[in-house]
Amino acid sequence: MPTASHARRDFFLIVIASVTWGTVGVANRALYHLSATNALSLSFLRLAIAAPVFAAAAWLALKERLFTIQRRDLGVMIIMGCLIAVSQALYIAAIAMVGVSVSTLIAICAAPVVVALLSALILGERITPLTVLAMAAAIGGTALLVFAPAQPSLPASQPHLGVVVAFFSASCYAGFIFCGRLLTHSYHPIQISAVAFACGSILLLACAAPTGLVLAYPPEGWMILVFLGLVPTALGYGLFQVGIRSHSATLVSIITMCEPLTAAVLAWLFFHEVLGLAGLLGAVLLLGAMGMIILLPKKYFE
C-alpha cells in the first residue's frame, strides 16, 4: 500500500508528465511553420524517437529481465501501444471534421469519465462524491480553457461524425491509462513503455507510409522533433507510468488535465493568445481540482 509521501510524489510526477504534454501543441505549431508536413508523420516520428530511448533505458535497468513478460501481459502492452497510436490518429481526424475546440474538448474531457466507468465496472474502484467534484471542476476548467483563446477553429465539415471520432479518441486514451494501471504493480514502468511505444510507432508507420511520410525538415525542425520524442514522449510517459502506481485510474485521468492548462499558458506566452476571464476561471477550476487531490487525505477519494 503506497504511503502518503509516495502518493504525493507520484502526484507530482503525473503533473510533470502532463506539463510536458502541454508543450506538444506549441511545438507542432512551430513545425507546421517550418516545413510542409502532416500530422501522421509528426506523430510517427515522435513515437519513433522515443521508442529506442525506452528500449535502451529498459535494457540498462532490467537486462535480460526486460524479456520476462507473461504472454497475456505482453498482449496488454501491445494493446496499449495501439491505443495511444490510434488515439492520436483519431484526434487528428476529428480536428479536420469538427474543428480544434470541440475535438479537443471531447478528447480531453471524455477520458476521465470513460476511465471512471471502466474502473468501477472492471476494477471495482469506488467513485466517491469528492472524486466526482474534482472531476467536475477539472472538466469545467478544461472546457473554459479550450473555448477561451481567441483563435479560429477549423470549419466543421462533418460535425456529427467528428464528435463520434473525438469520443473514440478519448476512449482509446482512457484505455491506455486503464491498461497501464493494470500492469503497473507487476512490471517496471520503463518495461511497459518500451513495448507499448515500439508497437505504437510501428502502427503509426503503417498508417503514415501510404499517405506520404514526410522526413525532410530543416535543422530547427529536427531539433523540435527530437524535443518531442525525448521530453513529452520519453520523459513524460516514463514519469506517467511511474506516477500511476499510487493513484486510482480515475484520479490519474483527472490529474492529466494539467495538459490543457500548460498548453493555454504557452499559447499565451509564445503566440499571444488571450485567455480572458473565462480562461482564467478555467485555470482556477483546474488548479482547484489538483489542490483537492494533493491536499486532502487520499481516503476521501477511495
Domain residue ranges of the chain, discontinuous segments joined by +:
4-301
Is 116:259 a contact under the CB 8 Å cutoff?
no
What pLDDT shows up at residue 2?
59
What pLDDT shows up at residue 154?
47
First-residue to last-residue Cα distance in the chain = 13
61-81 core/surface letters (b: 16 or more CB in 10 A; e: else): ebeeebeebeeebeebbbebb
Residue 156, Cβ neighbours under 10 Å: how many? 16
Distances in Å between the alpha carbon of 186 and those of 54, 74, 183, 257, 285? 18, 12, 5, 26, 35
Amino acid occupying residue 265 = V
- Distance, in Å, from the CA atom of 56 to the CA atom of 234, rounded to the nearest integer, reads 11
Residue 272 burial class via C-beta count within 10 angstroms: exposed 0-12, middle 13-18, buried 19 and up: exposed
Distances in Å between the alpha carbon of 123 and those of 116, 223, 240, 241? 10, 42, 20, 18
Q: Which residues of the chain have pLDDT under 50?
A: 150-154
Is 231:116 a contact under the CB 8 Å cutoff?
no
- Distance, in Å, from the CA atom of 116 to the CA atom of 251, rounded to the nearest integer, reads 8
**Residue 19: closest CA among 256, 238, 279:** 256
